[in-house]
A and B are shown apart, each in its own frame.
Chain A
Amino acid sequence: MSREKSRTIKVETLARVEGEGALYVKLKGGQVQEVKLKIYEPPRFFEAFLRGRHFSEVPDIVARICGICPVAYQMSAVHAIEGALGVGIDPSVRLLRRLFYCGEWIQSHALHVYMLHAPDFLGYPDAIAMAGDHQAIVQQGLRLKKVGNQIVALMGGREIHPVSAAIGGFYKAPSKSALTGLVDDLKWALDASLATTRWVSGFEFPDFEQDYEFVSLSHPEEYPFNEGRIVSNRGLDIDASEYEENFTEQQVQHSNALHSVLRGRGSYMVGPIARFNLNFDRLPDVAKQVARDCGLQAHCRNPFRSIVVRAVELVFACHEALRVIREYEPPSASRAQAAARASTGQAATEAPRGLLYHRYVLDQDGLIASAKIIPPTSQNQKRIEEDLWHFVSQIATRPAEEITWRCEQAVRNYDPCISCATHFLRLQLECD
């Protein structure tokens, strides 16, 4: 009987990207039997690389973990080490760090919204095919990303793997006029982001909602980047120093990446939807308004709508960058001095794809005794598998090609580093 047929969907491994992944889904009689999202190359080995290195080297080393979100790794690292060493930063440095993060969010979100995720919704295999029919749209996406690149290059010395972030601040602080030079492009980017939000909100979204525990930073006055408590929609409210008491990692046989879970509660979601749901009231009015205009509520539970939330965060990032540039005055010193001492520091910041936790133990000479890095993709991995489990159940009777396509789209809802791999995945279908 055809209903009892067993189908195995395998998405094979791809080589050498920031994360290497594969997807395996087994169906029998229209029911999901097994879902495995495999990640082969988490940045765990960096924790070992860091041992014995001086704390001042850490920002440059961790920037190498990811080519698309190096700023996030630098920011979590500098905050954790500054916490350990008791270093306070200049208010202007704080503003610059927010601007730095704006650049990375714009880069990352523009790439994902336009080049990686939109083709799924419009029925194209990739952005190249999409460009044939939507040239102006693709050009807009490329220009938006370029604005993000400009911010990161100005702040970090170069667009990828920036080199200016330091414990206590930056090796060099930009002049006011250098930042002012970004204003015209950012004003354009703000308008383009609003247009982006309206554009993607018109896509067709699968009817799929889940009861998530959302986790993100929360700051009383700001949409979060670098600071705040770690909160959830189910009552979690902790300092970053309490992270490991509340979250734990589980080894699974099919993946090199550990699965993060909330102790006693299980999977959770980090990333744009979590941030949006938990911090909606701290978005600027322009972002709140466009979200409302596009029918996006503060309790979004459909992961496919993450593309709309990312667009709203583009609006926020452009608006915030303009605010920072308006308020910025160069600091008297670009970085505060940090003296070595035996200590431990933890910090979490908001990478484009979610909460990024770092912990460092330093010895009396300022050398790293141990490091722990928990990236957002590791935190979302279990949740992605659970989404796939439920989502594939809804579409199990569809043709294998469509199931594969939809599975990839569902994985890309999270913009994991393995999204690059899933663009090249190949399907193997086995029927009994």
Chain B
Amino acid sequence: MAIRIIGCGNFDRGDDAAGLLVARRLHALGVVTVEQSGESTSLMDCWNGFEHVILADATAPHGRPGQTFIWKAHADKLPEDVFACSTHAFGVREAVELARAMGCLPQSLFIYGIEGKQFSLGAPLCPEVKRAVGSVAQQLLELTRLISPAQATQNRA
């Protein structure tokens, strides 16, 4: 089945790199992934035509750095205060909810969030987020194997 795995974020903004690092971990394991800034229109374009989408991104700080979250975005609305950290406030949540409003969400859309701590320019990844990246990458790999075993091993050959 057609599946797209997307890592979102910004390498220059500390923990905002979390989603991108998850994608790179998976890529290193042979899984086809795509990296995105999180800008809504590009994101919607990126998943257009795919039945199943898995997306990883950093979430806004609420005092629990490294905590991970999973949303079944195809079924439930995303919370408003979690992804409020994108170009002109038009990011992951807006892409998902716009797609829902226009009836063009993928059949399944799983969003993995890693709560960040520091997002200033040039900041390093905090240790809690660093640990969570490995854990989320493993979870995404398992989910990918369930949905699309072929994609999970596509690049290994």
Smallest Cβ distance from B6 to chain A, in angstroms? Answer: 14
Smallest Cβ distance from B45 to chain A, in angstroms? Answer: 6
Q: B129 within 8 Å of A by Cβ? A: no
Contact with A along B36-52 (1 / 0, CB 8 A): 01011110110000000
Smallest Cβ distance from A216 to chain B, in angstroms? Answer: 22
Q: B126 within 8 Å of A by Cβ? A: no
Q: A314 within 8 Å of B by Cβ? A: no
Chain A residue numbers with a CB within 8 Å of B89 are: 17, 419-421, 423-424
Chain A residue numbers with a CB within 8 Å of B39 are: 67, 159-160
**A68–B102 CB distance below 8 A:** no
Chain B residue numbers with a CB within 8 Å of A142 are: 41, 44, 98
Contact with A along B90-108 (1 / 0, CB 8 A): 1000100110011000000
**A128–B87 CB distance below 8 A:** no
A146 to B43 CA separation, bound complex (whole angstroms): 11
Smallest Cβ distance from A318 to chain B, in angstroms? Answer: 17
Q: B32 within 8 Å of A by Cβ? A: no
Smallest Cβ distance from B108 to chain A, in angstroms? Answer: 21
Within 8 A of A (CB), among B2-54: 12-13, 16, 37, 39-42, 44-45
Q: In this complex, what residue of B is CB-closest to A14?
A: B84
**B44–A417 CB distance below 8 A:** no
Q: In this complex, what residue of A is CB-closest to B80?
A: A424
Within 8 A of B (CB), among A118-159: 126-129, 131-132, 135, 138-139, 142, 145-146, 149, 159
**A111–B101 CB distance below 8 A:** no
A68 to B38 CA separation, bound complex (whole angstroms): 12
Given the interface pairs A15-B119, A146-B41, the reply to whether A417 lies near B101 with Cβ below 8 Å is no
Chain B residue numbers with a CB within 8 Å of A45 are: 121
Q: In this complex, what residue of B is CB-closest to A422?
A: B89
Q: In this complex, what residue of B is CB-closest to A66?
A: B87
Chain B residue numbers with a CB within 8 Å of A18 are: 87-88
Chain A residue numbers with a CB within 8 Å of B87 are: 17-18, 67-68, 160, 420
Which of A16, A64, A115, A419 sits near B85, CB closer than 8 Å? Answer: A16
Main SS of chain A's interface residues?
Answer: helix
Q: What bracket does the count of chain B residues touching chain A fall in?
A: 20 to 34
Given the interface pairs A146-B45, A160-B37, the reply to whether A138 lies near B102 with Cβ below 8 Å is yes
Which of A16, A64, A111, A139 sits near B90, CB closer than 8 Å? Answer: A111
Chain A residue numbers with a CB within 8 Å of B137 are: none
**B42–A149 CB distance below 8 A:** yes
Chain B residue numbers with a CB within 8 Å of A131 are: 98, 101-102
Chain A residue numbers with a CB within 8 Å of B40 are: 115
Which of B60, B102, B119 sits near A135, CB closer than 8 Å? Answer: B102
Which of B42, B101, B119 sits near A132, CB closer than 8 Å? Answer: B101
**A111–B42 CB distance below 8 A:** no
A131 to B60 CA separation, bound complex (whole angstroms): 25
**A15–B44 CB distance below 8 A:** no
Q: A384 within 8 Å of B by Cβ? A: no
A138 to B90 CA separation, bound complex (whole angstroms): 14
Given the interface pairs A68-B87, A421-B89, the reply to whether A128 lies near B94 with Cβ below 8 Å is yes
Chain A residue numbers with a CB within 8 Å of B98 are: 127-128, 131, 138, 142
Smallest Cβ distance from B109 to chain A, in angstroms? Answer: 16
Contact with A along B58-98 (1 / 0, CB 8 A): 00110000000000000000000000111111100010011
Q: In this complex, what residue of B is CB-closest to A43?
A: B121
A50 to B97 CA separation, bound complex (whole angstroms): 39
Smallest Cβ distance from B79 to chain A, in angstroms? Answer: 13
Q: A307 within 8 Å of B by Cβ? A: no
A112 to B87 CA separation, bound complex (whole angstroms): 12
**B101–A424 CB distance below 8 A:** no
Chain A residue numbers with a CB within 8 Å of B60 are: 15
Smallest Cβ distance from B150 to chain A, in angstroms? Answer: 28
Chain A residue numbers with a CB within 8 Å of B61 are: 15
A177 to B90 CA separation, bound complex (whole angstroms): 33
Given the interface pairs A15-B119, A131-B102, A135-B102, the reply to whether A68 lies near B88 with Cβ below 8 Å is yes
Given the interface pairs A128-B94, A146-B45, the reply to whether A116 lies near B88 with Cβ below 8 Å is yes
A132 to B101 CA separation, bound complex (whole angstroms): 5
Q: In this complex, what residue of B is CB-closest to A421?
A: B89
Smallest Cβ distance from A104 to chain B, in angstroms? Answer: 13
Within 8 A of B (CB), among A1-19: 14-18
A112 to B84 CA separation, bound complex (whole angstroms): 17
**A67–B37 CB distance below 8 A:** yes
**B88–A419 CB distance below 8 A:** yes
Chain B residue numbers with a CB within 8 Å of A116 are: 88, 90
Chain A residue numbers with a CB within 8 Å of B88 are: 17-18, 67-68, 111-112, 116, 417, 419-420
A138 to B94 CA separation, bound complex (whole angstroms): 12
Among B98, B102, B119, residue most surrounded by chain A Cβ atoms (within 10 Å): B98
**B90–A17 CB distance below 8 A:** no
User: 11 A-B contacts, Cβ less than 8 Å apart?
Assistant: A15-B85, A17-B87, A64-B121, A67-B39, A111-B90, A115-B90, A131-B102, A146-B41, A146-B45, A149-B42, A417-B88
List the 7 closest pairs (A to B, CB-CB), nearest first.
A420-B89, A131-B101, A67-B87, A420-B88, A128-B97, A16-B119, A160-B37
Beyond contacts A15-B119, A67-B39, A126-B94: 13 other A-B pairs, Cβ-Cβ < 8 A, are A15-B60, A17-B88, A45-B121, A64-B121, A115-B40, A131-B98, A131-B102, A138-B98, A138-B101, A149-B41, A159-B39, A419-B89, A421-B89
